[in-house]
Amino acid sequence: MPARISGVGKYLPERVLTNADLEQLVETNDQWIVDRTGIRERRVAADHESSGTMGAEAARNALRTAGLQGSDIDLVICATCTPDGMFPGSSALIQHAIGATNAGAFDVSAACTGFVSAFTVGAQFIDSGIYNRVLVVGSEVYSRILNWSDRGTCILFGDGAGAVVLERGEVGAGGFVLKSDGAQAHLLYARGPASAPSTMMEAEGYYVVMEGREVFKYAVRAMEDVTRKSVAGAGLTVDDVTWVVPHQANQRILDAYAKALGLPDKRVVSNLASYGNTSSATIPIAMCEAWEDGRIKPGDNVVLTAIGGGLTWGACTVRWTGLGCEQ
């Protein structure tokens, strides 16, 4: 039986970093940022917060909307490329924090495609009959891997977490498509403490490095392609899609993507102005908000799609059945 979404949740740090605040850090201004990205502000994690703590808060909210307890969960998957440490995974910390005493846990690292990848994996565990309930979390603290003197990257990213609970249902998620092109890894990456020393450039440190124009061009083509394949794999057409919840990278990317698909902008969920790019957390946060404000309703066909460092990209199509007892 397919996996359906039975719970959604999100968590955003309290601290707001506006474009005006960034004007004090780098040579930029509010209008320049808005015109090129659509972003007006983003959130920054407090010193005591991490991908694990924020992910746990989002997970608790997802469990609440599903009407479940942590002990009801069989598996916790956390999508993050800013984990609490090299190990254990942030998923294990989330598993403990929410009292998921019966669950296994592991992290998925696929940058901004992380949530789609983790969602795909979680859905397979349910569809195969191995598990009944899987918690999928996307949580990131990009503020700690940004070069705050690089206006090409520091204006884009923010911190946050989102989560969904997957359960078995008569209808649910399908049309899974995952892609990767490691030849394009140089377009978007961040080194780490285990990187080969010979590949390290002192100026890069462990910060995000991005060729923005090239990623932009690749993103529109890649997300359009996997969206079409996902929808077809789910036995639908683009005209059957009620909502697309894409990775929130840049409003110009979302506009070009919608145009390429022939979708009206109003059917593409966007919260970029408020949160910027929270990497693997963008899709579950945006999906949660679209449910909270009544846009996503039972019976809707919802496409989730993303592109991220690797380069990786993917999509899946979800038949929305309602949360908890709404199904």
How distant is the alpha carbon of residue 172 from its chain centre?
A: 19
The residues that are catalytic are 112, 247, 277
Q: Could you tell me how many residues make up the chain?
A: 327
User: H helices within 240-303, ranges in order?
Assistant: 251-261, 272-275, 282-292
DSSP for 65-87, written as a single string: HHT--GGG-SEEEEE-SS-SSSS
The C-alpha atoms of residue 192 and residue 212 are separated, in whole angstroms, by 21
Query: Which one-letter DSSP state was computed for residue 215?
Result: H
The C-alpha atoms of residue 99 and residue 80 are separated, in whole angstroms, by 20
What are the residues whose beta carbons fall under 8 Å from the beta carbon of 102, sequence distance 6 or more?
A: 71, 73, 74
Dihedral of CA 162/183/232/129: which sign? Answer: negative
The C-alpha atoms of residue 304 and residue 285 are separated, in whole angstroms, by 12
The C-alpha atoms of residue 279 and residue 80 are separated, in whole angstroms, by 8
Say if residues 284 and 138 touch (Cβ distance below 8 Å).
yes
Amino acid at site 175: G
